[in-house]
Structure 1
Amino acid sequence: MSVAVSMLRQVGTGASAPRDRRATRDWVLRQLYEWIFSGDIEPGLPLSETDLAQRVGVSRQPIREALRQLESDGLIEEAAGNGARAVVVFEERHIAEIYSIRAALEAVSFRAACSRITEEQLADLERVQAELEGRLRHGAPDPGKYDAAPDFRFHEIVAEAAGMPQLHAFLVNVWIKTWALLNQVQLAGTYPNEREIADSYRDRRLLLDLLRERDAERAAAAVVTHVNRRKTQLTAAIESGRGGFRLPSVASPGGRAAVFA
C-alpha cells in the first residue's frame, strides 16, 4: 500500500505529536489530510502557517513541509497571487482532467494486472468487493459519511498486481485528487446516492470477474467505462443542484465561488 493512502487511513487517531522529526512531519501531514477531507479546512480560504502551527501544536517548519506535500498532491494551490495557499476549490476543468487521466492510467493498470495477478490478490479483491456490496444493505450514507477508502483499495490492489511502481505512483496522485473532489461533494450530500453507489459496486464486480478470466482487453475497456460513468454521474449530480453543491463560476473573481449554496 502506498504511503499516501496509508496516511489517509490513519487520520483521526487523536494521538499527540511524536518527537522524531520525520514522524512529526508525517503526523502533521495526516492531520492536514484529515481536516481537508472532513471539510474542517474550508476550500478556497487562505491558509496561514502560523495559525495551522498553533492549531496542530507544532512549529511552523513541519507545517511548511506538509503544505509543500499537499501542493505537490494537488490539494492546495496559490490562492490570491500573493504567495498565500488554499485548499483547491474543484471546478469543471478539474473533473474532466482528473477522470480522463485516471481512465487512461487505470486501463494500463488493469491490462497489465490480468497477466500477473495472483490468487491471493484476487482473494483480497473479493474481500474488498464483499465489504462494498455489504454496505448496500444499509442504504445511502449520510452526507460526509461515505468512506471511499475501500473503493480506492480495490484499484490499488490491481495496481500492485500490475507490477509497475511508476504507474502506481501516478495513480496514487490521481486517487488523492479524486478523493478530495469526492469529499467536497459528499459533504454536501450531492454524490453519490444509493443508485450511484450500487452502479459503482456492480462495475467492480464485473472488473473482478474479468481479472479472474485474465481478459486483459475487456478489463481495460471495462475500467475505462467505469471511470467515465462515474464522471458522468458526478457531473450530472452537480449540475442538478442536488445537495446545494455548485461548481465555481468561470466569471467569478480569480475563478472562485462558494461551492455550497
Structure 2
Amino acid sequence: MTTIDDLVALVPPPTNPIDASGDWTQVENALGLELPSDFKSLIGSYGLGQFVDFITPLTPFGSRNRLVQSAQQLLESERPFREANPDECPYPYFPEAGGLLEWAGTDNGDRLCWVTGGHPDTWTVVVWNPRGCYYDAHETGAAGFLHGWLSGRLNTTVFAANEHVTTPWFEPFRELNHVYIKLTDGRRTYPERLRVLREALSPTADRGGYRDEDGRQDHFDATELGWRLTYETAYGHRIRIAFPPDDEDQVRSTLLATIHSMGCDVLSTTTHRGEPVWG
C-alpha cells in the first residue's frame, strides 16, 4: 500500500509549505464528515501549490479554503446537467450519500475526487472531466494516486500520462504572471536556440521535458531570477514564462533581446488566457 511517506520520498515537499496547517476538526465539521488521514498528511507536507505544474491539491486552510468551497458548490453546480442528462452522471455528488468530493484539480479543469462512504481511509479516487463527462475510477487514495501518476506507474483515461517527467516536483504557490511568446523558426537548430536562451538566463536548472516526432519541450528554471520557463515546438514554436509581477519590465526586455540572439522573430505575446500583452 502506497503511503504519504512514499510520495514524500518521490517528491520532496517545500521546507515552509503555504497554507498547510489549521483546525481539521473545524473543516470536518463544516463538511459533516471525517477526511482521509493520508490527505491530511498530504496538505500538511505540501500545502498550497502544484505537482509538476498540473495537479493542485485543495487545501482547506488560508484565505481560499478551496476544499470546503468546492464541496459546498458541487451538487448545485451539477444538478441542472444531471437532471437533463442522468445517464452521463454515474456517481452521486457530495453531500449526497457516497457522493463524489473533490480533493484536487488540474490545469485542464479535471477534478480528482473521492467516492465517499465508509471509513475515509478506504475512500477511492475517481478522476472526472466535467466538460466531457469522463470518469475513471482507481482503487487507491489521494497519496497513492499522486505517487502512481507522478512515478508513471498509474495512468488515467481522463488526462495524459506523466511519462515525460522523470524527476517530479512540487512548486509552492506564488503570485506569477504568465506570458506565452510565439516565435518564427529562424535559421538556428532547436538545440542552438535553447542554448542561447538558457545562457541568457543562467544559472538555470532542468525541470524535465520530452521529445517525439511532433516536437520537443524543455522545462527549466532561471534559478536566481525566480522565473519558470518552457521552450517548445510541441504545441507551436514558443516560449512560456511565469514570473513575479514586479519583474514584468525586466522579463520583457531580457526575452526580446534573447529572442533576437536566437535568430527568431516574435509573432505574438499573450497571457496564458490568450489576452495580448507587450503590444
Q: TM-score range by the shorter chain?
A: under 0.3
Which structure has more RCO (C-alpha within 8 Å, separation ≥ 6)? 1
Larger Rg: 2
Higher helix share: 1
Query: TM-score when scaled to structure 2?
Result: 0.22
Give 1 or 2: higher strand fraction: 2
